Structures are given as C-alpha cells and as structure tokens.
Amino acid sequence: QVQLVESGGGSVQSGGSLRLSCEVASVNVATVPCMAWFRRAPGKDLKGVASIHRSDTTTYPDSVKGRFTISRDNAKNTLYLQMNSLSSEDTGMYYCAAGFTGTCATVSGDGYYYSTSNYGYYGRGTQVTVSS
C-alpha cells in the first residue's frame, strides 16, 4: 500500500511562491511510473497540474506551465511542486498522486489532461490559499 503525505501548503499573497512536498512511503518514488499533483479548486473537479514519469519526463497544463515545477528527490523519497507567480486561481487543495497503470497525461486542448483513474493512490492533501 503506497502512502503519500503532503505538506507545505499555506496562505500567500498573489505573486508569491510556495513549495509543496509529498513524502512517499512503502515504495521507491523513482520506480513509480507516474507521480503527479492534482488540485481541487473550490466548487470544481479534481484537475492535474503536473506529472513526472519515472524517466523524468514532466508535463504541465497550459494554466501552470512556466510557473510550476514538479521534481523528486530519490534519496529522500519525496516529490515536490514548486509554485511561483501564484494567483487566486491557484487556490485549492493540492493532492499528491501515484499511478502504476495507464499514461501520466494525455495531450489536450489545455496542454495536458490527467485522468484521475490512472492514479490509484492519493494523499490527504494540503491547502493552498492565494489572496489578491
């Protein structure tokens, strides 16, 4: 059973930065086919904001491309999401996810689409609130 524990959320002013962390237990993060970050904005569905394949290939939807960076530290067995130039539209609960089947992301009109069904494990989330 893969265990994921997120941290690093908080409140920040528009234009600010945050780095989220996801500690991974029971599996070597470097061997997981797909790791990703999802966001649930208030009143909206869960949407992917970044993924990283075990080959180190990363993807981002257009809404965060150039502002968010996903990475992992294999020695610490931890996944990260560096978020810069935050706006109120980035407010939401952020979840770390691990996927062992399917693709990490597919090309879509918004850059990339992340199927929640391809990710079988999720953490409990960490809240990010961006105020203008």
Residue 31 phi, psi dihedral angles, 5° rounding? -95, -10
Between CA 119 and CA 35 the distance in angstroms is: 8
Confidence of residue 9 (pLDDT cuts 50, 70, 90): very high
Cβ-contact 121, 97 below 8 angstroms? yes
Cβ-contact 51, 59 below 8 angstroms? yes
Note the helical H segments in 4-123.
none
Summarize pLDDT for 45-85 with one digit per residue, the tens. Answer: 999 999 999 999 999 999 999 999 999 999 999 999 999 99
Confidence of residue 129 (pLDDT cuts 50, 70, 90): very high
- Taking residues 75-99, report their average pLDDT: 98
Sign of CA dihedral 131, 91, 72, 26: positive
